Chain A
């Protein structure tokens, strides 16, 4: 990895490869995940789920051969508060009352002291239904013949106009149309969902679990149990991967464990096995995007008309915000004077789709980046040239009329990606070799941005609070509700605190992620933690130093010893040493929710990726042999962790493109095993080259922008573009499996689809 840090001011700790805070516990195998924990007198819980996609419950039968008195059984009638999971809407029940709206929907909960008694008990419960017609695809939902949600099956609809698209078509040199689709994707965190709950009259409900957003769970539990904030306590324990998959679902499983604990009068642990986790929890939204683009003779974009449809599943959950991010990334990093975007999130009778790394952006970036290659073909110029001619530059405006005031270095990123991948030479070589080889090699490009932080007004609404404190034992603690699930949150935030306080990395630790201890610094999502929460920690550090100088005699050139002595002095006078800061929006960033206009994101990360593929025309398998990733993510706070984010995201996106297919029957995932839902292994991943350019963002922690989601955006289109380069075949849907390539090769003599209308 090569770095360009010339733009960054010097720092001591930020920018260095500090060792992961919780790393020693992890390599020793003593880090405790939910399933590793026990509570005194703990029982085990399990969930009875629907087996049909839609219908009314007629009767529930309990097999008399089971001694049900040994079990605690919870139904919707046992919910003391509101029977819904509190997300953006309150439409999703915690437990089904009468009507089932998707397969694998929770209906009953069971608990027993011995977890080995639970599977037989679940099998001994039979539920009779009066089935209702189910809607199982975007297309079926669009017809609105069967209304399964609200009055029109629509979770959300956005319409965005810039300029006047309609005036352009007649005068365009080329009009290029295309339709692209993406499948569902499972997060496949290696640790399944799990939660332990305990209830007492005095302290209310406490949960320990695998989760991303403690305050989301907190809010849900308050509603389900009708308890005040102080009677609900959420503690995140070591979490074995999340990727968005533990953003909203943990609110459900925490509620379930809590309901069982309340009724059983014992702590209750629920841990899903892999089959249950795959069948019942959220996945990435499937999508269909239609493009119609007008360009001039030179390939300059004149008009873009984009129609986006996503499958949201049975309940609203996060579909509206996923759709928003999908919409705002659908034009790619290009400038175009006339744009019309229409986007809709549709209800179907499948398990609700949810957050997954990229949050809608990978879907629409797949479409635009495939489409740009098809425009290049129509115009007769190269994939790099079509992009070069249309890139956004500083001063240009986006579809939402956001003027790009930050420096944009897409041209630099593109040149660097072409050079690192030896693009021109390899393309020449492959073109010469391919006709004589059963292995067809090719290269494909993708250029993209990823908006950092919450979309639109999101951060203003969140109004996050975070900071640091210094308890009386010579350690600074970082107080955040942001969670560590592999990305390195704890490490990065401790680096920022140490930097801003002028201390060493070892002087700082992270406070337990416990809602009784840490303030609500917002969810750990949207590539926001380093940039937004990190900034609050940076400010809190500076604020504390100023306070200690003013009130506790901290010297100008203090040592760590001097710092902690000043803290002791201050604590003696004021009781505690704590410094908290609240979010302040960067100036000149304003978003109009009503008009859907303005600064969609305070800043963007930028990237150009090149994928190199080998398509075997004997086995029909497509293999990615190299991915060159060049990105500008603001300041890189920890090079090891940053590269780890890129490499992990790229591998996940290779799976999205070529391996991972969620197969549904009646809305139930039937390949819900690792045996037949296939992710890339150590033998499959390409060589991944992670290259960073750094332009510090003035309002991110030490110049940081978002990084975590970016690498999931580019690989899929780059890979399919490379496959077209290698084989001449235009594939427009992912996942693209060997059988899909086989069908295409076998069913026709390769022909060029008309790309110009």
Chain B
């Protein structure tokens, strides 16, 4: 067992876990943050995507030891208090979420994209989301959502 320090969505926390336990499992089992999902367990589907120290990672591929001291942002940290993040608003209004299982990961990938590129072209959106699989939407309404969120100032992240 290792003692791991984490800052998750702005809150400092400490967990005791085997060093090779996946970040995904720590988030879901130890911290009760079930937003990130396991779709494939091998870094292909992106439904476990979170941001770690500002990088987009597949949390199923990160041993928790590697995350010691890290700042983690998950879908649960996207909305500010009760107000939806522009990306969440756009996914809701444009139909970017259907079954919703890829949505948390997709939102994190989209957040990451807009942080680095506040007004991406369609081609840049396609490339930015290519690591996140959605089987329901054919991605079209997800592209629409990201474009709409960019127009709403979706690149702005909050204090956390």
Contact = CB atoms under 8 A, between A and B. Distances in A.
Interface of A: 17, 19-20, 22-33, 35-36, 187-192, 238-243, 273-274, 485-488, 640-641, 643-644, 647-652, 673-675, 679-683, 685, 688
Contacts of A29: 34-36, 74-76, 78, 103-104, 107
Q: Which of B44, B75, B103, B140 has the most CB of A within 10 A?
A: B140
Given A640-B94, A643-B95, A683-B126, A673 B44 contact: yes
B59 interface: no
A485 B136 CA distance: 9
A673 B100 contact: no
B45 interface: yes
Contacts of A241: 98-99, 101, 135-136
A688 B127 CA distance: 17
B151 interface: no
B98 A644 contact: yes
B134 interface: yes
Find the residue from B34, B89, B99, B131 having the highest chain A CB count within 10 A: B99
Interface residues of B, number: 53
Contacts, number: 167
The prevalent SS among residues of A at the interface is loop
Nearest to B74: A29
Interface string B15-54: 0000000000000100000111111111011010000000
A339 B44 CA distance: 47
B130 to A, nearest CB: 4
Interface in B117-138: 125-127, 129-138
A674 B40 CA distance: 7
Contacts of B133: 188, 190, 674, 679, 681
B99 A20 contact: no
B92 A648 contact: no
Contact of B103 (A26, A35, A488, A650): A26
B102 interface: yes
Interface of B: 28, 34-42, 44-45, 47, 74-76, 78-79, 84, 88-89, 91-95, 97-104, 107, 125-127, 129-143
Nearest to A242: B99
B133 to A, nearest CB: 6
A485 B132 CA distance: 19
A273 B98 CA distance: 22
Contacts of B89: 27
B37 A20 contact: no
B135 A243 contact: yes
Q: Which of B38, B75, B101, B137 counts the most A-chain CB atoms under 10 A from its CB?
A: B101
Contacts of A683: 126-127, 130
B42 A20 contact: no
Contacts of A680: 138
A682 B97 contact: no
Contacts of A644: 95, 98, 136-137, 141
A190 B47 contact: yes
Nearest to B88: A27
A241 B102 CA distance: 10
25 contacts: A20-B92, A22-B100, A26-B97, A27-B88, A27-B89, A28-B79, A29-B35, A29-B107, A189-B101, A190-B45, A190-B47, A190-B102, A190-B135, A191-B99, A239-B99, A240-B99, A274-B39, A486-B99, A640-B141, A643-B95, A644-B95, A649-B138, A680-B138, A682-B139, A683-B130
B46 to A, nearest CB: 9
A27 B88 CA distance: 5
A36 to B, nearest CB: 4
6 smallest beta-carbon distances between A and B, as pairs:
A29-B35, A240-B101, A486-B99, A651-B138, A26-B100, A29-B75
Residue picked from B28, B89, B92, B97, most chain A C-beta under 10 Å: B97
Contacts of A32: 34
Contact of A27 (B36, B92, B132): B92
A143 to B, nearest CB: 37
A31 B97 CA distance: 12
Contacts of A27: 84, 88-89, 91-92, 97, 100, 103, 107
Contacts of A26: 97, 100, 103
A570 to B, nearest CB: 35
B40 A33 contact: no
A681 B135 CA distance: 9
A144 B35 CA distance: 51
Contacts of A188: 133, 135
Nearest to A651: B138
B92 A19 contact: yes
B39 A191 contact: yes
Contacts of A640: 94-95, 141
Contacts of B74: 29
